Structure formats: C-alpha cells, structure tokens
Amino acid sequence: MGRSMLGLLLGVCVMLPCLVSASYSNRRAFYIQGTVYCDTCRFGFETPASHPIAGAAVRIECKDSTGTWLAYSVDTVTDSDGKWEATVEDDHDDQNCNAVLLSSPEAGCQTVDPGRGTATLILTRSNGAIASRHHANSMGCLKDEPLDGCANLRAYYQLDSNE
C-alpha cells in the first residue's frame, strides 16, 4: 500500500506542473501588429508610391469554425506611421480569426481594397506554437484616382497597361 501511494504521489507531482503549464500557455495573450497603407496607383499591392494611413480603423475578429457567429473582437487604430497593434486574450483554437480593415480617414483613399482588406490570423497554441507576437499582412485602401507617375511604376512592374 505504501509503494502504490508513493507511486501515485510521484505521478501527481510529475503531471501537475505539465497540466498547469499547458493551461497557462493557452491563456497567454497574443500581440498582433500590422500596417495599413494607401495604394496610390491602385495596383492591389504596396509600391514605393504607397504611403501609410494614420487613423485607420482595424478590428480583430474571431468567428466560430462555421463562420456564423462572432466569438471575439477587439478594435484598434493606426498610428502616424500606419502601424497598429492589438492584444488578443486567450487561445482561439478552432476559431477563424482575421484582422479586418474597417475604414480610412484619408480623403481620396477611403475605399478598402477587396483583395487587401483582411489578414488571416492563427491564434492558437494547440498546434505547438509558442510565439505570442504575430505580424499580420499589410492591408490597404485604394486611392480614388491614381497618382501621376503610376504609368512608370506600371512599366517597372510589367503590368498590363489595359488594367
């Protein structure tokens, strides 16, 4: 009886820290950061002519695995360099999480680019990830009218001039 109790006690002493550690690691916050830019040539990607947008509204959204209900959200705003940061609490294991560009305060550059208006985020540690800091893809808005000089950039990037 004494040996079986000693074995059980030893098992508990070994397993308890593992369980506490696993539980703690899933509760640590994720720190997300990204940028928002104005696509001044309307190319659908950043170029040397693009510039950051200050004061753009960004939301982190996590929806259930079917995408039907919102499980978590937090809003943030870009700084003067077009950079944003957000803290996301807890692990969002099987949820679909995205950074979503909501709006831009910049006159003439307020249309969210449909191809660059969201960034997928994986906010779980169940896959063995230990990193707490995540970098989201840049998101952008389209300039109402392309800047002069975009034709030169179009040629540089060898884009079809009929677009």
Q: Per-residue pLDDT tens for 73-111?
A: 999 999 999 999 999 887 777 789 999 999 999 999 999
Residue 71: left (phi > 0), alpha (psi -120 to 50), or beta? alpha
Pairwise CA distance, residues 39 & 44, whole Å:
7
Pairwise CA distance, residues 35 & 56, whole Å:
9
- As a whole number, mean pLDDT of residues 134-153 equals 92
Residue 98 sits at φ, ψ, to 5 deg, of -145, 150
Tokens 């969210």 belong to 112
CB atoms within 10 A of CB 120: 10
Q: What is the CATH number of domain 28-156?
A: 2.60.40.10
Mean pLDDT of the chain: 83
**Degrees (nearest 5) of the Cα angle 114, 115, 121?**
105
pLDDT at 21: 43
Is 80 exceeded by the pLDDT of residue 4?
no
Q: From start to end of the chain, where are the E strands?
A: 30-39, 51-52, 57-63, 70-77, 83-88, 96-103, 111-112, 118-121, 133-135, 139-142
